Chains A and B, each alone.
Chain A
Amino acid sequence: MPVNAPLLEVQNLCVSFATRGQMIPIVENISFSIGEQEILGLVGESGSGKSVTAMALMGLIDAPGVRITGMALFKGQDLLAMSGKQLRTLRGQEIAMIFQDPMTAFTPVYTIGWQIDEQLRVHQKLSRRQARARTVELLGEMGVPDPLNTANRYPHQLSGGLRQRAMIAMALSCNPSLLIADEPTTALDVTVQAQILDLMRNLRKTYGSSVLLITHDMGVVAETCDKTLVLYSGRVAETGTTQALFAHPQHPYTAALLASIPPMSGPRPERLPAIPGSPPQPLERPAGCAFAPRCTYSHATCLPAPPPAFHAINSHHKVACLLPMEGTPLPPRFSANTTATV
């Protein structure tokens, strides 16, 4: 693997499910890369294909008749071409995943401590006593109060926030180089979310991990991620450094999504600039730009297939929209005299 190659490089990932004799494209041509100790935010509304993307990378989709194409080079190896056995090994050691609902990660019949101990012992030569010591240490590092006793509790006996921390502890027990976190804070309260995001930001320092952070919350992305990829209806709308993408969104969907969030500061708008309608069902996805039916800038060239190709605004910002190509890019989000005060 060449020096400076990204940890994970995904190229043209496509996932289609067979439904009633028909192949339904759910994820179309997604490409991105994650560097060492980098946090990439995968953001999009529900149904946009975020979880399917993550599950495809992890080899966790087992729907009959699913078709997954493209390439996903992790440390130079193609995840999509690996055998189930290779993937399982990798999932225990190199890549870990956490979910919105921690109950999916834990078995209800064992204590969380026992389950983390087992994880540790599978991958490292540790005695029971050593494993438990490490488990308690991990739980403590994840901010679990009284980790010694909490380790002896069953998943259902813990609060949502504690279960989430326990799941992160279990995921980190193998010191993964990549953590895939699918809506890890969506079910949590905002003060607890802030703690978990803090934890995520620190993972790269303390554990050297990279993170693929899946969320529907643009605020979470802005505060946590180095790079951002915006999905709309299974396709990449825009991708770039979080800095550039939030300062000057180039895709009308990104811009409209940001505008529709009620502000926490400054004057309250009389009405929120909402996006009309709702995202299309996969089978009703337009041939051209998927956002065209809801887009205020939509015009004749947006409609025919194929969907707009990526236009590179610069080396760290790409957009699947015709406007910049046609010489009429969107204005920046904040004009020069309005500062992004909080």
Chain B
Amino acid sequence: MPPNSTSLQTTRDEPVLTVKDVYKTYTLNKGQTLKAVDGISFSVMSGEVLGLVGESGCGKSTLGRCLLRLHDVTSGQIIFEGQDITHLPERTLRPLRQRMQMVFQDSYASLNPRRRIGDLLAEPLKVHGTVNGERRSASAITQRLAELMELVSLPRAALARYPHEFSGGQRQRINIARALALSPRLIVADEPVSALDVSVQAQIVNLFADLQKQLGLTYVFIAHDLAVVRQISTRVAVMYLGAIVELGETDNVLHHSVHPYTIALTQAVPRPVVGTPQHAPLRGEIPSPVHKPSGCRFHTRCPAAQARCAHDAPQLRPIAPNHEVACHYPVLSHN
């Protein structure tokens, strides 16, 4: 196993979530292995929004699922609210699950089409919900459902309707309401606005931001859209082939990017402004995660690569306050 690449900068109290050198390997047929998450460490402080960006297949969803123990990690540690949950048995984990929830991209697939919204939202309240050791009463549930509708700006009448009666944006509001039902502290949102048209996407991004402030939530916000991530995140982690290549405060990572991949990624985002200077696109595509390049995983596409990069894997290291990079030759003067 490569050396631990942790270099956390704890600025606020205790992290809500800490990830220590996490690996997740899938075994494919033919006995091949795929390291979808390849040694990742970071922490998320209370009230923070950590944006996780990277292109498809870089391991965002796998990591997101590992964070909430929807997948078991192959090695490493997941620490939630100070407690190591990596190997907690499901029974012990269950009460903790209320405090960490997930929102997915596909607003339709995650809602049972045959059940009314009210029933869908009441389910977690009935299954999980004890308040001070007592089951919730029917009236407490009704009241909570009304609160949830209010939180996500849907009319109370929506509770009596079925998922197909809603637009994609409204369904995503319902999914958010469901995630909020048990008053979680941490929400991992996996591409929650990617399937929406921009005008609707803006509504849902605003809703995430509003709820975060109003309820003091902590998010891990996964998206491939850098502009969305920039809008919502306090910190950003850029992933490539299973590892974090750049991590830090949003402005540091997206405006003073030092990793050649982050720079290429931000330059590749089409700007809705005519006359934006065009940059030479990055060459090639992401290599197969089954056969990762040796040395720096980015060296096969990197415009800054030198001989050392082909055999010596750079570790994530601080380069400025609140800014870490995994590159031997970070670009320090591109803007």
Q: List chain A positions with a Cβ less than 8 A from chain B.
A: 45-46, 145, 159-162, 189-195, 197-198, 216-224, 242-243, 246-247, 256-258, 260-265, 268-269, 271-276, 278-279, 340, 342
Contacts and interface: CB of A to CB of B under 8 A. Distances in A.
B271 A222 contact: yes
A161 B285 contact: yes
Contact of A193 (B264, B266, B268, B271): B268
A264 B271 contact: yes
7 contacts: A189-B55, A190-B268, A222-B274, A223-B271, A246-B273, A260-B199, A340-B274
Contacts of A273: 202
Nearest to B58: A189
A262 B276 contact: no
A268 B233 CA distance: 11
Contact of A223 (B199, B224, B278): B278
Nearest to A278: B167
B158 interface: no
Contacts of B272: 218-219, 221-222, 246, 258, 261
Interface of B is mostly: helix
Contacts of A191: 55, 264-265, 268, 281-282, 285
A195 B284 CA distance: 9
Contacts of A189: 55-56, 224, 285-286
Nearest to A192: B285
Given A195-B282, A275-B200, A342-B277, 11 more contacts: A145-B284, A191-B281, A194-B268, A194-B270, A262-B202, A262-B228, A264-B227, A272-B202, A273-B202, A274-B203, A278-B199
A216 to B, nearest CB: 7
Nearest to A246: B274
A261 B198 contact: yes
Contact of B226 (A190, A258, A271, A276): A190
Given A159-B285, A192-B285, A340-B275, A274 B227 contact: no
Contacts of B200: 274-275, 278
A195 B199 contact: no
Interface string B243-282: 0000000000011000000001111111111111110011
B197 A271 contact: no
Contacts of A268: 230-231
The 7 A-B residue pairs with the shortest CB-CB distance, nearest first, are A219-B270, A274-B202, A189-B55, A275-B199, A262-B231, A194-B281, A272-B202
B268 A275 contact: no
Interface of B: 55-56, 167-170, 197-203, 205-206, 209-210, 224, 226-228, 230-231, 254-255, 264-278, 281-286
Contacts of B231: 262-263, 268-269, 272
Residue with the greatest number of chain A CB neighbours at <10 A, chosen from B266, B274, B276: B274
B276 to A, nearest CB: 5
A146 to B, nearest CB: 11
Contacts of B273: 222, 246, 340, 342
B202 A260 contact: yes
Residue with the greatest number of chain A CB neighbours at <10 A, chosen from B227, B277, B281: B281
A81 B259 CA distance: 56
A221 B276 CA distance: 12
A180 to B, nearest CB: 20
A295 to B, nearest CB: 12
Given A189-B286, A197-B270, A264 B199 contact: no
Contacts of B264: 191
Residue with the greatest number of chain A CB neighbours at <10 A, chosen from B269, B272, B285: B272
Contacts of B266: 264
A161 B281 CA distance: 14
B297 to A, nearest CB: 15
Contacts of B205: 262, 272
A257 B198 contact: yes
A162 B29 CA distance: 23
A269 to B, nearest CB: 8
Residue with the greatest number of chain B CB neighbours at <10 A, chosen from A159, A191, A217, A247: A191
Contact of A222 (B168, B276, B277): B276
A193 B270 CA distance: 9
B195 to A, nearest CB: 9
A45 B197 contact: yes
B271 A219 contact: yes
Given A191-B268, A195-B281, A264 B226 contact: yes
